[in-house]
Amino acid sequence: MEVVVLLWMVPLLLIPLLMWTSRTFVFYFKKFFYVAWMMCLALIAIPLCILKSGGRDVENMRVIRSLVRHVKYFLGLRFEVSGWEHLQTQGPYVIISNHQSSLDVLGLMEILPDRCTMIAKKELIYAGTVGLICWLGGIVFINRKKTSDAKGVMAEAAKTMLEDQIRLWVFPEGTRNQNGDLLPFKKGAFHLAIQAQVPLIPVVFSSYRNFYLRKEKQFKSGTIRLKILPKIETKGLTSDDVSDLCDRSFNVMHSAFLEISPSVSQSNGPKSH
């Protein structure tokens, strides 16, 4: 009799195990697919970019953008964009946005304006075909471990922005962050905008915590809200104004982040600060 009861318990115990493994399986499957598919797309994009521009050129971002736009459907992600009108600014500007994961590339490509490239850590150049496509797309690589090098590269970028009419996308948190809030901003983006005397356009991604949890190995379908905020002018500002500009930008982005992110009670998992 006891044996029969025990036998019945086996499938009951297996159900949570299966659920856990399928959740973990889906997480790794989607992550693997994302990386592998991006590498393949980059392989397709490389010859197209070389044919289009003959080498490293910000115009290649059009090719990259058009090839990346469909990837969200495979991952079950939707984007809701607001504030499009704020991107209708002529000439160069610096876009600043929060950075939660490599998935941010999908949102970035949803709204990427023409002649806009990014500032990224130099390690990205070694990411195989993706690294090469980043280089061909004109991405400016910085060494985060050497402040003086990074400052020099960004000062050079301020000049190039004006000479070649280029827009730059910077992640002022300086690293990926999924703690359910924004990290304090580093100053590079604000020095850059002031040196070039161009406006800043803040863009806020809502929290991914309701569908994507790296530590908990969860990757469900979900909607990402992208809010483009009004530009912040820097005309007439000097390096003395960097801290104030940085604080103002942080405050508007932080409020927008809290406003558009699903509430913590709706999101899964605890907040880990």
Q: Could you tell me which residues come within 8 angstroms of residue 114 by beta carbon, excluding any fewer than 6 positions away?
A: 61, 62
Nearest to 202 by CA among 87, 77, 119, 114: 87
Helices (H) and strands (E) in the chain, counts: 8, 9
Residue closest to 137 by CA, chosen among 106, 107, 115, 122: 115
Q: Would you give the end-to-end CA distance of the chain in angstroms?
A: 51
Assign residue 184 a region (left: φ > 0; alpha: ψ between -120 and 50; beta: otherwise): beta
Nearer to ligand LIUXJHKN, 99 or 209 (CB): 99
Element (H, E) at 38: helix 2-53
Q: Which residues of 42-68 are buried (b: 16+ CB within 10 A; e: fewer)?
A: beebbebbeeebeeebbebbbbbbebb
Which residue lies nearer to ligand LIUXJHKN by CB, 247 or 259?
247
Q: Which stretch binds ligand UBL (CB under 6 A): 23-31, 80-88, 98-106, 190-198?
A: 98-106
Among 75, 87, 134, 200, binds ligand LIUXJHKN (CB under 6 A): 134
- 205 has which bridge partners? 226
| Greatest alpha-carbon span in the chain | 86
Single out the residue of 186, 209, 225, 231 in contact with ligand LIUXJHKN (rule: CB under 6 A): 186
Q: How far is the CB of 239 from ligand LIUXJHKN (least distance, A)?
A: 7
Q: Which is nearer to ligand UBL, 123 or 164 (CB)?
A: 123
* 26 or 124: CB nearest ligand UBL: 124
Which one among 27, 30, 31, 38 touches ligand LIUXJHKN, defined by CB under 6 A? 38
Q: At how many degrees (to 10) do helices 60-68 and 104-111 cross? A: 120
Is residue 258 close enough to count as binding ligand UBL by CB under 6 A? no
Amino acid at 11: P
For residue 188, state whether it binds ligand LIUXJHKN (rule: CB under 6 A). Answer: yes
For the segment 105-134, give every residue that binds ligand UBL (CB under 6 A): 105, 121, 124, 127-128, 130
Residues that bind ligand LIUXJHKN (CB under 6 A): 38, 41-42, 45, 64, 67-68, 99, 105, 118-121, 130, 133-134, 137, 139, 142, 144, 147, 150-151, 154-155, 170-172, 174-175, 186-189, 191-192, 242
Residues that bind ligand UBL (CB under 6 A): 35, 38-39, 99, 102, 105, 121, 124, 127-128, 130, 175-176
